[in-house]
Amino acid sequence: MKRQIVIGSRGSRLALAQTAQVASYIEAADPEIIVEIKKIETTGDKRLDVTLDKIGGKGLFVKELDKALMEGEIHLAVHSLKDMPMEESDEIPVVAYSKREDPRDVLVLPRGKQEGKYGGRIGCSSFRRRLQAERLFPGADFVPVRGNILTRLEKLDRGEFDALILAAAGLKRAGLSHRISRYFSVEEILPAAGQGILAVQGRKGQDVSFLAGYGRPASEAAALAERAFVRRLDGGCTSPVAAYAETVEGRLHLKGLFYNGTGSYFIGEKTGRMEQAEELGILLAEEMERKYTR
């Protein structure tokens, strides 16, 4: 009989598409494995009436999946890394980091609207995006928006917003790249830590040899550096801290955003060896904190 692996996933179109990518890889890598995807509704998906910072932050998107992992109900869980809390559990660690999809943020306009001068109401789900986008669109009114990608697009198309700022990776993985009106460079809007990377979470000591070859060292190094930077600055849903790292000629180059709490933010950079990824993130955070704290 084939061995069954159960992967837990949030129930949105995007989450299921991401989990299906991992499931397809496992089944192709080992024909003796059959994968079942188990949909698990999280508190973050249920509570759409308030912003995340008021109800507990990003942990609300993983709490139920964490519980299912700990209790053996599922073998793995798949997350967008940017949606995971910065503190990782030793009991249910990340066991693989995917190849990174496009890390950039994008502007999405209502159906039929052409690229032009943007203003009015822009739906923006994070302080990080809003703080940086205010420099690009000084006359816009930035309004919080919750819900999965399809829900947000529906609100946009029925006139609740004049534009949305979303992650390119999510739109592309959900088959909605045609909705993208403009890409923001990482110089215009620095992404959230881990944006574009999928994290596969398992249990401590679990045999995950069937994932051999799925994880990417460059993605892991970027993830560790970015998350260390944000964690050192205690960044979360209420903070606009951001970080983006990429491997350039075998070296890891990290950019970080530091917010001084007075409405201003600063971008810093640091380069080091891939194997020193976490240390690189911490050092950049400490340097920026010393330099820009008032």
What are the residue boundaries of the structural domains of the chain, listed by start?
1-98+197-213, 105-183, 216-294
Residues of the chain with confidence (pLDDT) below 50? 48, 52, 54-55
pLDDT at 51: 52
Residue of 83, 102, 105, 162 marked catalytic: 83
Whole-angstrom CA distances from 179 to 14, 108, 129, 136, 220 are 15, 6, 19, 20, 29
| Sole residue written with tokens 């009015």 | 120
What is the C-alpha separation between 68 and 79, in angstroms, rounded? Answer: 14
Known catalytic residue: 83? yes
pLDDT at 286: 96
Sign of CA dihedral 149, 153, 154, 159: positive
What is the C-alpha separation between 197 and 170, in angstroms, rounded? Answer: 10
Please give the CATH superfamily to which domain 216-294 belongs. Porphobilinogen deaminase, C-terminal domain (3.30.160.40)
Cβ atoms within 10 A of the Cβ of 247, count? 15
pLDDT at 49: 52
In this structure, whether the domain defined by 105-183 belongs to CATH 3.40.50.720 is answered with no
| Sole residue written with tokens 């919080």 | 144
Whole-angstrom CA distances from 289 to 9, 42, 102, 263 are 37, 34, 29, 15
Q: Do domains 1-98+197-213 and 105-183 have the same CATH topology?
A: yes
Cβ pair 183, 168 in contact under 8 A? yes
CATH topology of domain 1-98+197-213: D-Maltodextrin-Binding Protein; domain 2 (3.40.190)
pLDDT at 116: 56
Read off the pLDDT of residues 122-136 as tens digits, 9 standing for 90 and up.
999 889 999 999 999
Q: Closest by alpha carbon to 259, among 231, 232, 233, 224? A: 233
What is the C-alpha separation between 82 and 267, in angstroms, rounded? Answer: 19
What is the C-alpha separation between 96 and 202, in angstroms, rounded? Answer: 9
Beta strands in the chain (DSSP E): 3-9, 33-39, 76-80, 94-97, 105-108, 121-124, 141-143, 163-167, 180-183, 198-201, 242-248, 251-259, 265-273
